[in-house]
Amino acid sequence: MTSKAIAPGKIILFGEHFVVHGTRAIVCAIDKRVTVSSEKNDTAGISITSSLGNATIPITEKVNNVDKKFRPFFHLAKKIINQNDVKNGVNIEIESDIPIGAGLGSSSACCVAAAASISGLFSKPENDKVIELAIDAERTIFPKTSGADCTVSALGGIIEYQKDSGYNAIQIEHDFNLIVVNSQNPHNTDMVVNRVNQYKNDNEESFTDMCKEEDNLITKAISSLQNFDLQTIGKCMSQNQIFLERIGVSNDQLLDIVKSVEKETFGAKITGAGDGGCVIALTENSKKDSVVEKIGAEYETYTVTIEKTGMQVNITN
């Protein structure tokens, strides 16, 4: 029996970093995906095959001793095997068209797809349980993750997310055209998160005020998304970019990209951890190809749309 699961990547439209400290975020699933296939095996090992390398790890191994790039998958497999009281291991194969280290949710989509795939070997995967398993797995490499990325990957569409109160789906009737510009400069999420924490500790009053401003911005952005007010959404994105610059997660290269792309679009900002990774911009359908052609002369650039379908699982015998 093979259990195959597909999960989409994501972009953060508003609220990255601030969401870790209790503020809301708006997160969208996008049409780039991870596929994870799992099968039971006759050994006492967990076998992992991916573009990052291959490993076979005894089920008895401690999670913290496992190479970081394999750790979430080993953690999931070991946990699910133990929950189902079986002795043998599983084979896990991971395929992805989401750039790694670009802020597009590669790790969270991998965790969601793996949680759904491995769970599917034993029972029908349920959204809430998969989200819980995926967030737990992602915390083996990113202890302070808010859970927003895994949640939207499992559910699809656009969600409003708050760490303590969960999520609300944002219902939209229109398709949004987004440009992604990849700086191709991978970021170190842990390092950037620590930098933001240091900024908060050194500037508590300023950071608290920014969280309030971000929350107000998100209220306006939700209304604009529902009304398909592209001009206002773009202005909100540009304002969010200013906040991200203040807390120190931008750099000269990203600023150059933002300035270049926002001349051709409604607004642009970093998405994800920052200090590398991607810039996103909102455009209209009639202009997206010309923007991609112009910016793509210097940087890897492509369009994405909102993926309304979350994780999907297919079991074959």
List of residues 6+ apart from 210 with CB closer than 8 A: 18, 243, 246, 247
Q: What is the model's pLDDT at position 144?
A: 77
Q: What is the model's pLDDT at position 115?
A: 96
Matching CATH number, 177-304, of 3.90.550.50, 3.30.70.890, 3.30.1180.20, 1.10.10.10: 3.30.70.890
Instruction: Go through 44-70 and write b for each residue having 16 or more CB atoms within 10 A of its CB, e for each that does not.
Output: ebbbbebeeeebebebeeeeeebeeeb
Q: Model-level pTM greater than 0.75? A: yes
Q: What is the model's pLDDT at position 104?
A: 85
Backbone angles phi and psi of 201, in degrees to 5: -65, -35
Burial class (CB in 10 A: 0-12, 13-18, 19+), 127: middle
Q: Are 80 and 122 in contact (CB under 8 A)?
A: yes
Q: What is the model's pLDDT at position 211?
A: 93
Q: Where in the chain is the domain with CATH 3.30.70.890?
A: 177-304
Amino acid at position 303, single letter: T
Q: What is the model's pLDDT at position 6?
A: 97
Residue 308, CA atoms < 13 Å, CB-side half-sphere? 7
Q: What is the mean pLDDT of each run of 10 residues along the chain (317 residues)?
A: 95 90 92 95 92 90 91 94 89 91 86 96 91 94 85 95 89 88 80 88 92 94 94 95 91 89 90 84 87 84 91 90
User: What class does CATH assign to 2-172?
Assistant: alpha beta
**In the block, residue with structure tokens 């200090």:** 275
The residue length of the chain stands at 317
Look at the alpha carbons of 64, 83, 56, 151 in this order and tell me if their dihedral is positive or negative: negative
Helix axes 127-138, 148-155, angle to 10 degrees: 150
Look at the alpha carbons of 244, 17, 183, 250 in this order and tell me if their dihedral is positive or negative: positive
Amino acid at position 212, single letter: K
Residue 210, Cβ neighbours under 10 Å: how many?
A: 23
Q: What is the model's pLDDT at position 263?
A: 83
Backbone angles phi and psi of 11, in degrees to 5: -125, 150
Residue 88, Cβ neighbours under 10 Å: how many?
A: 12
**Cα separations (Å) of 31 from 80, 105, 108, 185?**
28, 12, 14, 22
**Cα separations (Å) of 131 from 74, 78, 111?**
17, 17, 9
Tell me the two tokens of residue 41: 């095996």
List of residues 6+ apart from 114 with CB closer than 8 A: 5, 36, 38, 72, 73, 76, 77, 92, 94, 134, 137
Q: What is the model's pLDDT at position 152?
A: 95
Tell me the two tokens of residue 148: 């927003």
Q: Where in the chain is the domain with CATH 3.30.230.10?
A: 2-172
Task: Give the three-state DSSP class for 183.
Answer: coil
Q: What is the model's pLDDT at position 86?
A: 85
List of residues 6+ apart from 200 with CB closer than 8 A: 21, 207, 247
